[in-house]
Amino acid sequence: MKNMLVAQSGGPSAAINATITGVIDAGLDSDKVQHVYGALNGIKGVLNENFVMLDEICKSKEERDLLSMTPAAALGSCRWKLKDPKDNAEEFEKIIQILRKHNIGYFIYTGGNDSMDTVYKLSQYFEAHGVDDIKVMGAPKTIDNDLGETDHCPGFGSAAKFIAATFREIACDSYVYDIPSVTIVEVMGRNAGWLTASAALARTEKRRAPQLIYLCEIAFDEQKFLQDVREALKKENNIIIAVSEGLKDARGNYVGEETKSGKEDAFGHKYLSGIGKYLEGLVGEQIGCKVRSVELNILQRCAGYMLSRTDITESRNLGAYAAISAVRGESGKMPALKRISDRPYHVEIRLADLSRIANYEKTVPTEWITEEGNDITEELVEYLTPLIQGEMDVPYENGIPKRFIL
Amino acid sequence: MKNMLVAQSGGPSAAINATITGVIDAGLDSDKVQHVYGALNGIKGVLNENFVMLDEICKSKEERDLLSMTPAAALGSCRWKLKDPKDNAEEFEKIIQILRKHNIGYFIYTGGNDSMDTVYKLSQYFEAHGVDDIKVMGAPKTIDNDLGETDHCPGFGSAAKFIAATFREIACDSYVYDIPSVTIVEVMGRNAGWLTASAALARTEKRRAPQLIYLCEIAFDEQKFLQDVREALKKENNIIIAVSEGLKDARGNYVGEETKSGKEDAFGHKYLSGIGKYLEGLVGEQIGCKVRSVELNILQRCAGYMLSRTDITESRNLGAYAAISAVRGESGKMPALKRISDRPYHVEIRLADLSRIANYEKTVPTEWITEEGNDITEELVEYLTPLIQGEMDVPYENGIPKRFIL
């Protein structure tokens, strides 16, 4: 009997703990798995042999259910990209040595593009060097919904639900005054506008807010934007606008870049913030009506009080599928979702090749954005709607949601 | 039989609609009330005779329950302060004429300090001019919890619950990385720190975040703050800090004022924002660790997906009490909450004199703030805890909370 190891990587999400819960479920269920370990802070925890006994800690179903509904990453995360094995064989050898030392035959790594790159490199190295006693599997996670080969990503549905619900609340808040007002809401998304698009799910027949939606897939034109806002204000007093944090102009420069910080993270991604504030200034200056901006900020990814049951269930299933696949001898792959139908919503899990996932970003197809570039199409609404359905029965403790803490 | 009129005023909250629901409940229940009208956009709607038939619109209990759980102000609001009757008798006479024209004998006005000022002026004017066929009553509302004569204010409990839950989620999000980090969360509150204090309710035995809490009642010292942060970082990697938006220095100036906008609202209140960003810059510069700031922004007052059952129940009861009192002949008063005991939590409703409420702000007593000025005492936790208890069974529609829209 071998041990199983799971670790989390990349930015937190509301569903990544559901995925490791699925791994624990499968590990406890399998007669080929002795223990399920968790590595703290991703691949760094593997290198430092910083392990916890997850099957012991989460022995009860109650504890596992709590873990599955806790946002962020209970095992901690890291932003650590393994270098190319050519330059870094030592690190790969060290990982193999540590895994063998702890009799780990199955290693499941949850994360986004960068983490799938880590899994891919490991599996390639294992294959090239005849390491066949350790199976390594990815499990998808990213609120950005930008992984290839899967219909959508665990964590996205809950983030989309939070965003849609929040736009509805912001509309309630904005409609109370009868003077013209513009509210600009900045949503996460550097290169993919999926999260911003989900603002459209806030609409009802009686209230069409947000009236304007700008995704980062379409070059942003400030003059066209101001014209859109002026047109919208002719029809209604209260205008709500959803914008992706990563809006770029026709030359590919971030809109209002000079007003934002230029810091970069370990992967060279620019930290973005402030497009909302920038556009607030623009509307105030050029149109002169009451205007405010709201940055949804980290709540988008960590608000576990607004979980999508569809998302949490799928995330847990994907974690279990990754674990079971590893036990069955699969390696270097990632379980992915294939949508069979929209109505009724039905998905199936299939294994996808990491070679086609690592470092690839799936953006919103332009045919799902209206020609005017200021809204999304009905097809995209159809795609998004099932992903936010259903609620979880989150346990409360002293008035607020109870959380799993290691 | 007379008609009853209700209107809403001031900033939106998650519970102000529960209060007008209580008014409708009482109006429907009373054999002395013919119809319950709502005025749109507060006192402005009265002056413009902009009325809706609330008892017709909300005939079913289902519709009223939905209204009671919808955030913001379903009737719309205004920021309109009646001038002193000496300078403005015309407006007072016009209001009397309109109310009589519509056979309105009971007028209930929900709001905060400024709105209670309106009710007080009206009732004084009625008394001075022998108008005894119209009873006017206030109903308290303010997330700031700064009204006098009442143990706490409707809307506060739900805002406090949202804030406490959100700090817990932000802690989950912050603890995923193992490098030293500081997260500064800016909470609403110009002069009263009640909302900021409620961040303390996020704490559990395992996790003491937020480790530092700064209320606007205490003069803020930047050097002491930096020292507190350095000390906290010696004990733990991930520090969460709650700060009131209205932090002032020893001379009474807003901290980092020059970096913020100088706009003022109709009552001469300065629009505040940016203390979080300011302190983020300060920590980054002086301590140099990873630091970020989060502005909870309008979600604090409009997130109806995190309602306190205690708050919504009390708000609805207070609205009904105001209505019933008016029918019984009371005028110029406001139903207020008197706390009888903490454990078990028990409150009673009593009528309070508006003369002692209008334009008065109740701040956090300094004895409920620790001597160091960077945390709150156990007594304040005891005061706050009952107010966030219980959840509402919010109806969902297509994946997100359903909302009442007029």
pLDDT tens by residue, A98-157: 999 999 999 999 998 888 989 999 999 999 999 999 999 999 999 999 999 999 999 999
Distance CA B232, CA A86 (A): 42
pLDDT at B65: 98
In this prediction, residues B126-137 reach a mean pLDDT of 97
In this prediction, residues B295-313 reach a mean pLDDT of 94
pLDDT at A258: 61
In sequence order, what are the residues at sequence separation of 6 or more whose Cβ sits closer than 8 angstroms to the Cβ of residue A361?
A: A113, A146, A148, A191, A192
- Could you say which of A114, A144, A228, A375 is catalytic? A144
pLDDT at A112: 87
Lowest-confidence pick of A272-286, A388-402, B191-205 = A272-286
Q: Which residue does chain B place closest to A13, by CA atoms?
A: B173
State the ipTM, two decimals.
0.94
Which residues on neighbouring strands pair with residue A139, listed in sequence order?
A110
pLDDT at B269: 47
Substitution target from A63, A166, A176, A259 for chain B, most B beta carbons within 10 A: A176
Catalytic residues of B: 144
B173 vs A8, A79, A302: nearest CB = A302
pLDDT at A83: 86
Report yes or no: B16 and B47 within 8 Å, Cβ to Cβ. no
Residue B170 distance to chain A (closest CA, Å): 7
All residues of chain A having their beta carbon less than 8 Å from the beta carbon of residue B9 are: none
Given a cut of 90, whether residue A189 has pLDDT beyond it is yes
> A182 to each of A141, A376, B9, B12, how far by Cα in Å?
34, 20, 20, 17
Place of tokens 């998004």: A384
User: What percent of chain B is predicted at pLDDT more than 70?
Assistant: 96
pLDDT at A13: 95
Residues B204, A405: C-beta atoms closer than 8 Å: yes
Rounded to a whole number of angstroms, the CA Rg of chain B reads 22
Lowest-confidence pick of A278-292, B207-221, B259-273, B370-384 = B259-273
Report yes or no: B165 and B158 within 8 Å, Cβ to Cβ. no
Mean pLDDT of chain A: 93
Rounded to a whole number of angstroms, the CA Rg of chain A reads 22
Given a cut of 50, whether residue A272 has pLDDT beyond it is no
User: What's the sign of the alpha-carbon dihedral B228, B369, B277, B176?
Assistant: positive
pLDDT at B266: 47
Substitution target from B43, B50, B156, B169 for chain A, most A beta carbons within 10 A: B169
Residues A391, B396: C-beta atoms closer than 8 Å: yes
In this prediction, residues B120-149 reach a mean pLDDT of 95
Say if residue A210 is preceded by a cis peptide, omega within 30 of 0.
yes
pLDDT band at B264 (very low <50, low <70, confident <90, very high): very low
Which of B114 and A180 is assigned the larger pLDDT?
A180
Lowest-confidence pick of A366-370, B154-158, B300-304 = B300-304
Residues A401, B76: C-beta atoms closer than 8 Å: no
Residue B200 distance to chain A (closest CA, Å): 12
In this prediction, residues A201-208 reach a mean pLDDT of 96
| Phi-psi label, residue A55: left if phi above 0, alpha if psi -120 to 50, beta otherwise | alpha
Residue-wise pLDDT tens digits, A338-379: 999 999 999 999 999 988 887 789 999 999 999 999 999 999
In this prediction, residues B329-351 reach a mean pLDDT of 97
Residues A44, B78: C-beta atoms closer than 8 Å: no
Substitution target from B172, B181, B187, B309 for chain A, most A beta carbons within 10 A: B172
Residue A45 distance to chain B (closest CA, Å): 10
- Residue A19 half-sphere exposure, CB side, CA atoms within 13 Å? 36
Residues B298, A299: C-beta atoms closer than 8 Å: no
What's the CA angle centered on A33, arms A31 and A38, to 5 degrees? 145
- Taking the alpha carbons at both ends of chain B, their separation in whole angstroms is 26
CA A203 to chain centre: 23
pLDDT at A259: 54
User: What's the sign of the alpha-carbon dihedral A348, A350, A354, A355?
Assistant: negative
In this prediction, residues A195-221 reach a mean pLDDT of 97
pLDDT at A10: 87
In sequence order, what are the residues at sequence separation of 6 or more whose Cβ sits closer than 8 angstroms to the Cβ of residue B250?
A: B219, B221
- Pinpoint the alpha helices (H) of B198-307: 222-235, 275-286, 299-302
Q: Which residue does chain B place closest to A381, by CA atoms?
A: B398
pLDDT at B258: 61
Residue B298 distance to chain A (closest CA, Å): 8
Which tokens go with B286?
């002086």
Q: Which residue does chain A place closest to B297, by CA atoms?
A: A294
Q: pTM for this structure?
A: 0.95
